[in-house]
Structure 1
Amino acid sequence: MSKSPAVRRLPVLAAALSMAAAGLVAAQPAEARPARCPQLTVSAGWFGDNQDRIQDLIDTYGTCGAGTGHGKKPVAVFDWDNTVVKNDVGDATMYWLLRNAKIQRPVRGDWHTTSRYLTDNAAASLAAACPSGRSTTLPTATDTACADEILAVYGEGTTGKGAPAFAGYDRRTIEPSYAWLAQLLHGWTPAQVKAFASAARAENLKAPADAVQTVGSNTKATAWVRYYDQQRDLIRTLQKAGFDVWITSASPEPVVDVWARGAGVDPDHAIGIRSTTEHGRITSHLKGCGSAKDGADSMITYIDGKRCWINQEIFGVRGAAAEKVQPARDRQVFAAGDSDTDVSFLRDATGLRLVLNRNKNELMCRAYDDSDGRWIVNPMFIEPKGQKTAAYPCSTTGYTGHDGTPGPVRRADGSVVPDQRDTVYAG
């Protein structure tokens, strides 16, 4: 695993980090803490005083500190793709499925059965590219036209000719292309899907960094994944300190289950996109959360949907209340993410919020604004990005509304976040 390039620390950021540290719940003085507090051991790759601030949080909330009270373990929640690992395990699984012809034909040959949000144009394009046949599975290993069309819909959200592939969905609770991967697993058992994910995992961990693969006719796709040593160390340390550590991901849950074990997280603490089953086999419908019933296919682990699933599965909140911000005592103490898909559950964290900088507008607007002093930003641990030269458009278009309309990013009190400069990056 390669080391991260040198990171530039600007004076303005040093001041901001100092102010942020003041906003974090006060840690016990070092001399007052009991001995043998679990310590982070991987120092490379951490920016500024981020590691120290995380250690302070562990010392404060863990079993070696004051704890959270209320007789509960403190909760830590991590996003998965590009937060605990470099690259995307959902993508890795999709590419493997296509190369190995493991996607089953849609029910009755109707592509609309794979997603209620699929446009008529997309359904027709898929039907034309993937003609009917007697085999149970689509011949995507050899039929490159079919593989190409599926890749376009999944990867770009468009048909092969560039027309929108999905419509009519809430942009804050579901991303249909993410959900589509889970829905295309229909017909298989969860155990079979885990076997597919295990095969893809083995390939991607064995492949050299920067490896690419050809999928379909000529798509050059990423062919490698790596665990971040820093995040494995952090998860292990949190667990030793008495934290209840969870994973939340917008990849299918059987896939996340396979990968999570490599970071020391058991499958019963992984929340991915959950599918309904019939007679032990996965269907093209999804389990619901909050006010969304099973089969409504409208609330996955995506932006506000992640909040719902965390509240429901970790904190036991049922019904529409799971979609709301809970009292501080019933929220995660620590959260980590890298994308706008993580912004709601990160905002809910009461102690500290770790953001890996991938230049995502809403997330970076909130992280750099740091209105309550609990946000910390770190470059990605592998192949971190350089500085984004233009300011994040926080005051104008940084936020995406439920209907997809862009707007300003607002704080909890309704005030608009000013545009932010990118100050934590590789250089």
Structure 2
Amino acid sequence: MNMNDKMKYSPQMHGISATGTRGIARRGFLGGLLAAAGAGLAGVAVSGHAVAKEAGVNLDRAKWSPRNHALMARMLAEHGSMAPGYQSGKRPYAVFDWDNTSIMNDCEEALLMYQINTLSFKLTPAEFAAIIRQNVPPGPFSKDFKNAAGNVVDLDSICADLDADYAFLHANYKGMAGSKPLEEITATTEFQDFRAKLYYLYEAVNDTHGVNVGYPWVIYFFANMSVAEVSALAEASNDAALGASLTKVKYTSPADRPGKAGVVSVSHFHGIRLCTEIGTMMDALRSNGIDVYVCTASLEDVVAVFATHPKYGYNVPRENIIGLRLERNGERYRNAYLKDWPLTWGPGKTVAIKKELVAKKGYGPLFVAGDSDGDYDMLRDFSETQYGLIVNRMKNGKIGELSKLAADQMASVKPRFLLQGRQESTGNWLPVETSIKYGKTAPQLLTS
């Protein structure tokens, strides 16, 4: 990648103070951003729309940034089935991340909270105890994971508390070995402690030990369930999350049940929203002879429910979903990651795409869309990729590097990376490159 032509970006270019955008500076930021995009890409927009019209390309404008919409339409026209030189035996293809790219929020995390709230586990207390410790290094978590007393929480303590909670729930809930209804069970301090500490443990494992440990760990809770049972659970979770408000809720374990770990608090971002722009783009790609794939760091079968079911509107073929995979006993999942299958996050996404697609087709994707460090590699690893679209979450890390590069390329007629804005409080895209964080009102281009 040639970095020599990058334009320098600084907050002062767009009138942003070091402490954020205020008053006139806020209006100046938006105006300057739109003016810069318009000035640098007026020709692209005109030629893109002209080519799109001539080729019969129909991509819903919706809430796309005008520049991104023009570039997407031009890509469809130049590489789709109406383009000169198109080969039906060598169809181009696009790859989309799922969570926080194709939808707002994370369906795997929503499913974990739904699984907890509905106590949808098919595990004995001994099996549950083994899974919460499985492949997780013992000892304290990172310094960010402290209890109310200010002490760092460790694996052994929180697992001991969860062992006691789950034993009570398993013995008393009628969906397990007991007779009490869910409504009565969820009112108990044992359940309140269980919910807060299990979700806290999920966050602590990922933050302390990384997704290579945390992402397989969370899907081990499907052990003993069939594919059909998990699919039904995922659909119920999707529907509940689509009907819920987008809100961050703080869960605190009961003060009168501190256990060994003490009182802990954790937040979960409730709610999911469909992304119309991604759904309609998928349709436009297919209508123009370009295949659509999803590569996700969630369980493949969970995302398949969302991506393939007609009621959600994405209509991706089941065989085109690539994601995390578990070993099975027949149709029932085991708490073991599939042998020799890559973890489809970060470099593993590139490995999976090469294994499943490049090895069979002989070439990489024309287009890739993502939002996080988990998508960094697939966004940049294929020479055939014309555009890498980044749903702008204003993040640091590796995706922050690509976001910075996309910002630098906003005046280029041939950018490699594109930023697309959204408003986190509504889950909707914005017709600009900037995004608005949840709980904020000021639009932002890059992380501050």
TM-score where L is the length of structure 2: 0.68
Q: What residue number does 1:313 align with?
A: 356
Q: Find runs of 4+ consecutive structure 1 residues off by over 6 angstroms.
A: 16-22, 27-34, 213-216
User: What are the residue-to-residue correspondences of 1:309-348 with 2, within 5 Å?
Assistant: 309-316=352-359, 330-348=363-381
Matched, 1:281 2:316: no
Q: 2:319 and 2:118 mapped to 1: Cα distance? A: 29
SS at match of 1:276: strand
Q: 2:350 and 2:40 mapped to 1: Cα distance? A: 27
Q: What residue number does 2:270 align with?
A: 223
Alignment root-mean-square deviation, CA: 3.9
SS at match of 1:301: coil
User: What are the residue-to-residue correspondences of 1:10-409 with 2, within 5 Å?
Assistant: 11=32, 35=54, 37-43=56-62, 45-66=63-84, 69=87, 71-103=89-121, 104-105=123-124, 108=127, 110-111=129-130, 115-119=134-138, 121-123=154-156, 125-131=158-164, 133=167, 141=186, 142=188, 143-144=190-191, 145-157=193-205, 167=209, 174-210=211-247, 221-261=268-308, 262=312, 263-288=314-339, 293=340, 299-316=342-359, 330-349=363-382, 350-361=385-396, 362-370=398-406, 373-380=415-422, 383=425, 385-386=435-436
Q: Give the superposition deviation at 1:137.
A: 5.5
The verdict on how the C-alpha distance between 1:96 and 1:50 changes in structure 2, with shifts beyond 3 A counting, is same
The verdict on how the C-alpha distance between 1:189 and 1:313 changes in structure 2, with shifts beyond 3 A counting, is same
Deviations 1:7-55 (A, max 9, x none): 9556578668987999x9xx99877779553311133x22241100011
SS at match of 2:90: coil
Aligned residue identity for 1:255: V
Deviations 1:274-316 (A, max 9, x none): 111013210111124xxxx25xxxx311110111111112233
The verdict on how the C-alpha distance between 1:105 and 1:250 changes in structure 2, with shifts beyond 3 A counting, is farther
- Out of 245-254 and 114-123, give the one that drifted further: 114-123
Q: Is the 8 A contact 1:153 1:177 kept in 2?
A: no
SS at match of 1:156: helix
Q: Is the 8 A contact 2:345 2:375 kept in 1?
A: yes
Q: 1:17 and 1:29 mapped to 2: Cα distance? A: 13
Query: What is the number of residues matched between the two proteins?
Result: 357
- Out of 208-217 and 64-73, give the one that drifted further: 208-217
Deviations 1:373-418 (A, max 9, x none): 3111111265473489xxxxxxxxxxxxxxxxxxxxxxxxxxxxxx
Deviations 1:173-202 (A, max 9, x none): x43222222111111111100011111111
Q: Is the 8 A contact 1:111 1:126 kept in 2?
A: no
Deviations 1:64-102 (A, max 9, x none): 114665931111011111111111111110111001111
Q: 2:303 and 2:240 mapped to 1: Cα distance? A: 16
Aligned residue identity for 1:306: K
Unaligned ranges ≥5, structure 1: 159-163, 318-326, 389-421
Deviations 1:237-267 (A, max 9, x none): 1111111101111111221011112212122
Larger helix share, 1 or 2: 2
SS at match of 1:342: helix
The verdict on how the C-alpha distance between 1:98 and 1:109 changes in structure 2, with shifts beyond 3 A counting, is closer
Q: Is the 8 A contact 2:98 2:295 kept in 1?
A: yes
- Out of 126-135 and 30-39, give the one that drifted further: 30-39
Aligned residue identity for 2:347: D
The verdict on how the C-alpha distance between 1:137 and 1:312 changes in structure 2, with shifts beyond 3 A counting, is farther
Q: 2:70 and 2:99 mapped to 1: Cα distance? A: 24
TM-score where L is the length of structure 1: 0.71
Q: 1:92 and 1:67 mapped to 2: Cα distance? A: 44
The verdict on how the C-alpha distance between 1:108 and 1:101 changes in structure 2, with shifts beyond 3 A counting, is closer
Deviations 1:302-343 (A, max 9, x none): 1101111111122337xxxxxxxxx9x611110111111110
Q: Is the 8 A contact 2:100 2:371 kept in 1?
A: yes
The verdict on how the C-alpha distance between 1:32 and 1:358 changes in structure 2, with shifts beyond 3 A counting, is closer
Q: 2:415 and 2:42 mapped to 1: Cα distance? A: 6
Q: Is the 8 A contact 1:107 1:113 kept in 2?
A: no
Q: 2:345 and 2:237 mapped to 1: Cα distance? A: 23
Q: 1:35 and 1:113 mapped to 2: Cα distance? A: 58
Computing the radius of gyration from Cα coordinates, the structure with the larger value is: 2
SS at match of 1:71: helix
SS at match of 2:358: coil
Aligned residue identity for 2:243: K
Q: Is the 8 A contact 1:187 1:283 kept in 2?
A: yes
Q: Is the 8 A contact 2:108 2:298 kept in 1?
A: yes
The verdict on how the C-alpha distance between 1:249 and 1:123 changes in structure 2, with shifts beyond 3 A counting, is farther
